[in-house]
Amino acid sequence: MFKGLHARLTLIFILAASSILIIAGLIIMYEVHFHFTMFQKDVPEFNSIEPLTHHFEKALLSSVLWTSLGAILLVCIISYFVAKNLSRPMVEMRKAAEKMAKGELQVRVKSLGDDELNDLGNSLNQLAAKLQLQENYRKNMTSDIAHELRTPLATIKSHLEAFEDGVFEPTTARIQSLTGEIDRLITIVQDLEYLTAMEAPEFSLNKKPQQLNHILIKSVDAVSGAFVQNGILLRSELNSDIEINMDAKRMSQVFMNLFSNALRYTPRGGEVTVVTHVDSESVLITIRDTGIGIPEEESKHVFERFYRGEKSRNREHGGSGIGLTIVKRIVEAHEGQIWVNGEYKQGTEVKMSFNR
């Protein structure tokens, strides 16, 4: 007739309430009989009214018995409906979890009251929402990866077919073009491998007390040649040096990536500046350039996988589309924050904040 949690709760309620009623009934019946026996011993005139007292005792005991039986029956009925009401939200959550396991991540549990069961339902809804978001990310990432790999592969294939058919001569310039596309594929795969490693549970940083200015100066020196070659001024305005607990190798990767982006989107004659500001609670690092800039509505998305604004969607300037995602993961692993100042109108301004 009914099974599962509903049946178990009903049985528990019936056994608990019935046990209490039976014990209470037996105690009352014993007390009634005991007091009637005491009354018989203490009252000499008892024999004259013995039939009446015996009849009264039987009537009283019978009333207790039938009242207990009626109460047990009422307990069974009430327990059934109470257990049904208590088990309904849990049954709904079980069904929702089963649907989620089958991939129906849009399912949600209705809010019921303001208790622990409602909190459990809300937690299940949050889990479903996060799983749905992750599934959307997975689908988008698969689509983006296919898009990123398709173009260089198609270019390589078309060139090789042209060489094979004799349409193109395998000149040095064309072979270099193919090499560039292959390098691009290698970069995408390496970035994907690195991003996957960073998002793995076992990923950890080798954090030690480091001089921030020392890491910044080394990063600036590493890219200064490329800036000179492209006719772009790279300046640093560093505040008093400070020691921060960080992974020097990972943070150098962050700075190198941001400098490379600034170099890629800043025209000849432009300027890139790195500035640090230190106060009693935090360290603020700003990298600004005088390049093409990022529209304010796009600045919120630049750290997403494979995101590119319309200005930089072309293959001449575009990178792997994962570099800034890796940058954000590294900064967040250091318990820091990174964002693009969308209100900066002279180019692009990227800010990072770390606790001291």
Segments in the chain below pLDDT 70: 1-6, 36, 39-57, 111-115, 201-202, 305-321, 342-344
Q: Measured on CA atoms in the order 328, 331, 337, 338, is the torsion positive or negative?
A: negative
At 276, is the secondary structure helix, strand, or coil? Answer: strand
Please report the pLDDT score of residue 310 as a whole number.
Answer: 47
Q: Half-sphere exposure (CA, 13 Å, Cβ side) for 241?
A: 10
**What is the per-residue DSSP string for 103-115?**
T-TT--PPP-SSS
In this predicted structure, what is the pLDDT of residue 34? Answer: 74
Contacts of 15 (CB under 8 A, 6+ apart): none
Quote the CA–CA distance of 229 and 45 in Å, as a whole number.
Answer: 127
Q: Which two tokens stand for residue 15?
A: 């056994």
Q: Distance between CA 311 and CA 346 in Å, rounded? A: 16
Predicted local distance difference test score (pLDDT) of residue 309: 55
